[in-house]
Structure 1
Amino acid sequence: MPERKPSPRSYTPAAGYHVLTPLYDFGLAVTTRERVWRDRLVYHMALTEGEVILDIGSGTGNLALAIARHSQGVRYLGIDPDEAATRIARAKTAQLVPAPEFLVGFLSASTVAHWPAPAKIAICLVLHQVGLTEKARLLREAWHKLAPGGELYVADYGEQRSRFMRLLFRLTVQQLDGVHDTQPNADGMLPVLMREAGFGDIREIETFPTPTGTIAILRAGKSDA
């Protein structure tokens, strides 16, 4: 399978290809134990009433639903360049109160300038799908948008530490999304990129073996200075 060329203004659709977007939720549930790690992510974020969270790469709205299951009164803001996925997200979350806010676009200071600085930012299953330069850019933009003293949570394919997990990752995720963009995650580059973006106190707080490789939750902070 030919690898996608990395570009700061291109993206890999939620399921790898636009035609597969309607099947994304089913595939994610089957191949990544999604309900387990999303609920644990919300647990670790410990959101409180009135808090603002920005979801970078909001996809089909599954994090918004998970937050609604476990938290009350949280202002959810989601941005994603995939218009089809965002339409699904809006339909799935239409009954939630307070209503999630979704924006179609690439994250930048200008595209989210009208939104308040969030206390917490989440990036779920996004960074493995973009090139190294775009991984670094997204993390820098997240650092600039995050409120002082805020926290970043990344839930994504992390370092594949065992031979078996590396094999599963190669046979599934890398077949769908290509090796070029995904290999830095498998090599353990995410904490390095987070540190280079300005974050501190970077910790891998939980990992989840899945049929497609190991998914990790990483936490990092932004100094309040």
Structure 2
Amino acid sequence: MPSDLTYTPAAGHHWLTPVYDFGVAALTREHRWRSALIAQVRPRAGDVIVDVGCGTGSLLVRLGKAAPSARLIGIDPDPAVVARARKKVAAAGITAELHIGFARQAAELLAGPPPTKIVSSLVFHQVPMEEKVAALAAMHAALGAGGEVHIADYGLQRTALMRGLFRTIIQNLDGRVNTQPNADGILPELMDAAGFRSVEETLVVPTLSGSISLYRGTRPA
């Protein structure tokens, strides 16, 4: 792993971390896309589900409530948000293992049975192209045969309105270089190149900060 690898904080700047959850709720129609993502993941007893870029733990809590006996694991490089995630999952009565690390370290951070499902939300638009590629490769390597990947993130911005909102909100917070490939619709292509099969965009949710897409793919058995 590059020794100079850095990360973009959850809200674009460290000083905005305390208001990250509020911003996601206010600007992304969070309930709509998170609920759809949970329905797509179909958490079940016996699943090993890894949330790559777990942030403050919002998705882990929903996964835990949907499948209380599933093994949940969260990975994030930001110690501040991992600390928030620990408090959030504990307050919800959810059991989850939390690791500080980058998405490209997913395979090496995990011990025990391979994940059956890997999820990621609002992460890929924040990282450089090199990290998008490395993260998907690590997720593919970590999954067991027949395992699934599920991603919710800003995808192809199909209309002038969505492009304008994305540019005004997300690109002002997270910059243009890392975010533009997402807005151009690169994720399905990168998932396919990483070795995932049956890759598809399953839902597009217009929001006040641009459109968020749901994707899924499978590691071949």
Say yes or no: TM over 0.5.
Answer: yes
**Equivalent residue letter for 1:134:** E
Q: 2:180, 2:13 → 1: CA distance?
A: 19
Q: How many residues align?
A: 218
Q: 2:214, 2:205 → 1: CA distance?
A: 9
Q: CA deviation at 1:96?
A: 4.6
Aligned residue in 2 for 1:15? 11
Q: Which residues of 2 match residues 1-225 of structure 1 at below 5 A?
A: 9-96=5-92, 99-107=95-103, 108=105, 111-224=108-221
**Equivalent residue letter for 2:117:** K
Q: 1:169, 1:156 → 2: CA distance?
A: 12
**Equivalent residue letter for 2:32:** V
Aligned residue in 2 for 1:3? none
Deviates more, 1:62-71 or 1:210-219: 62-71
Q: CA deviation at 1:112?
A: 1.3
What CA deviation, in whole Å up to 9, does each residue of 1:27-74 have, x standing for no partner? Answer: 110000112211110111111112110100000000011113322311
Q: 2:209, 2:94 → 1: CA distance?
A: 34
Q: 1:8 to 1:149 in 2, by over 3 A?
A: farther
Q: 1:74 to 1:113 in 2, by over 3 A?
A: closer
Deviates more, 1:104-113 or 1:172-181: 104-113
Q: CA deviation at 1:105?
A: 1.2
What CA deviation, in whole Å up to 9, does each residue of 1:155-186 have, x standing for no partner? Answer: 00000011111011011100110000000000
**Equivalent residue letter for 1:12:** T
**Equivalent residue letter for 1:196:** A
Q: 1:8, 1:66 → 2: CA distance?
A: 34
| 1:67 partner SS | helix
Q: 2:178, 2:217 → 1: CA distance?
A: 22
Superposition misfits of 4+ residues, deviation over 4 angstroms? 95-98
What CA deviation, in whole Å up to 9, does each residue of 1:57-114 have, x standing for no partner? Answer: 0000000111133223111100000000000000011145551110111131564142
Structure 1 residue runs of 5 or longer lacking an equivalent are 1-6
Q: 1:8, 1:217 → 2: CA distance?
A: 31
Deviates more, 1:108-117 or 1:35-44: 108-117
CA contact (8 A) 1:74 1:98 kept: no
Q: 1:105, 1:132 → 2: CA distance?
A: 18
Identity %: 44
Q: 1:182, 1:115 → 2: CA distance?
A: 34
| 1:140 partner SS | helix
